[in-house]
Structure 1
């Protein structure tokens, strides 16, 4: 149950009653929102109803707000309805409403916060690293962010497909194959000397070279390059993708679809040509020239007539080349075909998780979505900023040019999956992130992942304490309203109010593609829970377990279990475990 949706309905009913008295029956109520007030001392809920309706109705916001409050005050669950500032309405609810909502949480259990099916078929494409080497920490953030976005969207009711786009076409694949072939010759005993400039120097290709030597012996040496290159290329890509899949599993990430870019170039680029023809039929393709862009000139820019996508008609800054003057497709043309393929597979919503260096791609990808789908599909691009590694405050260096990586596997091996995933999500994705190996493993309140996981472990410890003292623990979903109404302490009610925010939080996080909201929320919930536990240390009457008050203890254990449900559910959305014990 989402209390914000519940009260949005009540507020709209009050507004409609006011509109009827004003003889205004056609006002737009879609902009009305209900949310927690920024300052909890102002009440439990706040709405902008009067603020968004006053101008179109020709009313003063505070006068309209007071009229709405008059309609709301007879509601038995509302203790007070007050006008604040220029016309906001703050509502305070009675304790029985909150304890009743706690009963709803306990009945729903792990499904609390789950939304009904939306009918949206969502494709989330993330990681999509070039298969030219092992995954390093630079890939890690996008992997975790994309996976969490997909998890949250599924919980929010979308039908989600997790997809990885394999960049197995283009010049970098030839470089990879030649690099692996050099290691193959090395495995056969040849002194290859220093790795030539332009090839991948990393030691990770030594294993591929050895595997090639075992499988093909010396037969590749007798072949011309045009024969061995596709063999080595295919074998090396498969080996790299197997390594990438293994690395992703260390983070608990498994994709539903691995889409090969090479398939777009099959049949002499037939899929790409078809996508361009579809755009042409819609009037989005023409022959022309482009002026040189300001600043750095892109690699694919030509001062000659070429086939262009009229992307400025659908929101882009400039038209984009699709076919060069020599007849070859641009890299962007493959992006067009890839989106067309997704749309043909029935996806009406797409998310691309890209590195911050792809910021210039956002408008052109959005333009492709509008042009191909006729505005029927929605595309979001989520950009992930760089991660800076530190150890005890000192920067950890890595050099891709020299083949020296801090690999994803290295990071997970040192600190564990949970700290990596949680901390990659404990900042908005487009903000830089500092990751300190020591800080993410220390057991303190300053380490968010420990603090949140410890809250869940504490909830389990409280349950064990009650059982150890011989207290009969009722099943959470059997607690009746009269028992739960014993929860009257302000700290207990604050916890329930925080729990009540979870369904709204899930929905908003899914809509905005911002999983960091869940991480922040879990920390705030853990803080309230630890705070209430510590209050019990100072005041024995507030302890969760009181042998002298078994019914009150049952109610408080119900609250503890509800906190555990939400902590575990929220951590699962982030791909983080919820331990029952921490040592």
Structure 2
């Protein structure tokens, strides 16, 4: 039940009843939203402001006519025309009772939406090079991507969570060389890790595995012989480690796509990249040409030569992009294009990329590729995640016990817990910097957002334990039959109205691709719950459980159950637990 959709339909119905000759396109411009100032009412519409000019009426004149029609609605307690023609509605208490009833009637479905239209959507996130454990820099993108995928599925899209394994190119050769040094170390040599190789001790198990599987036989081989042996094992073991790190965070991808498969010619004598370039040539999306020199000082490796170029500038990018290197091999970008083509051929019409802030230069080119591949049919969305700065009691945290150069994701989760990490990573918009203090996120106080929200759910659970002890006959009744008209106190109505916002928040957050809006909403709902709880301390007649007033107690228990349902629903979208007790 979306209150604002309900009254959007009623406003449009009232407008049709005025016989103004409005088309459906005209009516589609009408919005119904919460007033900016809650004291002005419960819902507001811009109908008179957007329609009056086309009708040759003054906004106030149209607003007065529409207000009179809306005032006849039994669910409308009061109508006010404000300013030049905005209409504010105050809804009747009986309508708000229906919100609680709707939550109880469909606890799993409340807030869900069909707005996504089952659109097939691919959310690719994390996609770190398989060269070591996940570090805290990957953590924010992992949480944002995972929560966004959950949110879009909740809002009606058909979502796949995908990880792109960068298992082709120079960085995995470096990984293999680093692992080979650990192999020699496992055989008893004393080794030093030179600059340019990966020094972390997370490669020690790879060296041990190579020793177990091959003994000392690899030592007699040239690099060209042992590299194809070492590299696949090193990548596989790194991916096992990465999956384990992500599992600790509660992140589970459904698809792991290998970049190496895009280069593979073993099955069809030509690769996915070959096929992409052939298709693009046939569609005149690729040509042989020259790029102008980059502005400023020329890089040492720049050369003026004819190249295979993708017409990226025709689709909104700054320049056309090369697909082949001077030695004939493909650029990283060529693989990116073939990868996005693969997504499109797999049926995805919305492709979302969650990238680090250092990938800002990729946004236009990814959007250009999406437009070119699909003829404008596919939607490409890129969300950049700013850095996370780690603190401990206000002091910066820089070094890891394990890697020696960065803080691992697993270390952060093991110290403060999955729920704290996930919730705090969503308490800022993805493109805003985020400070994460190990001490503060473990505090049991209202200043710790995750504790504050989870405690609200636990408080609700405690109400039912209290009811079972003090008024078992009331607690045992069917809450769906409660007399919800008893919910008349301002604090109770504030809670109901906040609950009523949930479906609209879900749809807006999904449309904007901003899962942090769910975290903000949950914090607001928790705040309303805690505020009303505190009022009950001073005013016993407002307490949720009063065995001398079974009718009010039943209604209030229904309200508390509705709050619990919405808190648990929103926390599930974020991938955060909803505990019944806090210790």
Superposition TM-score, scaled by structure 2 size: 0.95
Once structures 1 and 2 are overlaid, which stretch shifts more, 364-373 or 111-120? Answer: 111-120
Q: Secondary structure at the match of 2:457?
A: helix
8 Å CA contact 1:44–1:90 kept in 2: the answer is yes
Query: Could you tell me how far apart the structure 2 residues matched to 1:476 and 1:524 are?
Result: 30
Query: Could you tell me how far apart the structure 2 residues matched to 1:524 and 1:352 are?
Result: 29
Once structures 1 and 2 are overlaid, which stretch shifts more, 229-238 or 396-405? Answer: 396-405
8 Å CA contact 2:111–2:506 kept in 1: the answer is yes
Structure 1: gaps (5+ residues) = none
The structural deviation recorded for 1:329 is: 1.5
Q: Secondary structure at the match of 1:244?
A: helix
Q: Secondary structure at the match of 2:473?
A: coil
Paired position in structure 1 for 2:517:
517
- CA pair 569-188 structure 1, distance change in 2 beyond 3 A: same
Query: Could you tell me how far apart the structure 1 residues matched to 2:289 and 2:402 are?
Result: 38
> Alignment partner for residue 110 of structure 1, among 108, 111, 117?
108
8 Å CA contact 1:200–1:403 kept in 2: the answer is no
8 Å CA contact 2:193–2:199 kept in 1: the answer is yes
Query: Could you tell me how far apart the structure 2 residues matched to 1:294 and 1:476 are?
Result: 75
Q: Is the counterpart of residue 211 in structure 1 residue 212 in structure 2?
A: no
Q: Is the counterpart of residue 415 in structure 1 residue 416 in structure 2?
A: yes
Paired position in structure 1 for 2:309:
308
Query: Could you tell me how far apart the structure 2 residues matched to 1:29 and 1:113 are?
Result: 25
The 5 A counterparts of 1:361-380 are 361-380=362-381
Paired position in structure 1 for 2:261:
263
Q: Secondary structure at the match of 1:381?
A: strand
Residues 532-568 of structure 1 show CA distances to partners (whole Å, capped at 9, x for unaligned) of 1111111111110011101110100000000000001
Residues 283-320 of structure 1 show CA distances to partners (whole Å, capped at 9, x for unaligned) of 22122112234357689864222111112222222211
Query: Could you tell me how far apart the structure 2 residues matched to 1:300 and 1:519 are?
Result: 47
Paired position in structure 2 for 1:507:
507
Structure 2: gaps (5+ residues) = none
| Structure 1 vs Structure 2 CA RMSD | 2.0
Once structures 1 and 2 are overlaid, which stretch shifts more, 329-338 or 266-275? Answer: 266-275
Q: Secondary structure at the match of 1:28?
A: helix
8 Å CA contact 1:106–1:477 kept in 2: the answer is no
> Alignment partner for residue 98 of structure 2, among 86, 97, 100?
100
Query: Could you tell me how far apart the structure 2 residues matched to 1:253 and 1:515 are?
Result: 15
- CA pair 57-293 structure 1, distance change in 2 beyond 3 A: farther
8 Å CA contact 2:467–2:475 kept in 1: the answer is no
Query: Could you tell me how far apart the structure 2 residues matched to 1:298 and 1:382 are?
Result: 29
Paired position in structure 2 for 1:198:
196
Paired position in structure 2 for 1:76:
74
Paired position in structure 1 for 2:490:
490
8 Å CA contact 2:163–2:257 kept in 1: the answer is yes
Residues 169-202 of structure 1 show CA distances to partners (whole Å, capped at 9, x for unaligned) of 110011000000011101101111x311111111
Paired position in structure 2 for 1:29:
27
8 Å CA contact 1:354–1:383 kept in 2: the answer is yes
Once structures 1 and 2 are overlaid, which stretch shifts more, 447-456 or 98-107? Answer: 98-107
Query: Could you tell me how far apart the structure 1 residues matched to 2:329 and 2:307 are?
Result: 10
Residues 4-27 of structure 1 show CA distances to partners (whole Å, capped at 9, x for unaligned) of 111111111223334x33x44465
Query: Could you tell me how far apart the structure 2 residues matched to 1:297 and 1:99 are?
Result: 69
8 Å CA contact 2:162–2:256 kept in 1: the answer is yes
- CA pair 59-27 structure 1, distance change in 2 beyond 3 A: farther
8 Å CA contact 1:79–1:92 kept in 2: the answer is yes
Q: Secondary structure at the match of 1:110?
A: coil
- CA pair 581-174 structure 1, distance change in 2 beyond 3 A: same
The structural deviation recorded for 1:364 is: 0.8
Once structures 1 and 2 are overlaid, which stretch shifts more, 279-288 or 118-127? Answer: 279-288
Paired position in structure 1 for 2:157:
158
- CA pair 37-572 structure 1, distance change in 2 beyond 3 A: same
Q: Is the counterpart of residue 223 in structure 1 residue 221 in structure 2?
A: yes
The structural deviation recorded for 1:472 is: 2.2
Paired position in structure 1 for 2:337:
336
The structural deviation recorded for 1:415 is: 0.3
Once structures 1 and 2 are overlaid, which stretch shifts more, 58-67 or 348-357? Answer: 58-67
Residues 429-464 of structure 1 show CA distances to partners (whole Å, capped at 9, x for unaligned) of 010000000000100000000000000000000100
Once structures 1 and 2 are overlaid, which stretch shifts more, 326-335 or 234-243? Answer: 326-335
Q: Secondary structure at the match of 1:428?
A: coil
Q: Secondary structure at the match of 1:89?
A: strand
8 Å CA contact 1:487–1:555 kept in 2: the answer is yes
Query: Could you tell me how far apart the structure 1 residues matched to 2:564 and 2:417 are?
Result: 22
Query: Could you tell me how far apart the structure 2 residues matched to 1:376 and 1:477 are?
Result: 50
Q: Secondary structure at the match of 1:37?
A: coil
Query: Could you tell me how far apart the structure 2 residues matched to 1:574 and 1:128 are?
Result: 20
The 5 A counterparts of 1:148-547 are 148-192=147-191, 194-267=192-265, 270-294=271-295, 302-398=303-399, 403-473=404-474, 478-480=479-481, 483-547=483-547
8 Å CA contact 1:65–1:89 kept in 2: the answer is yes
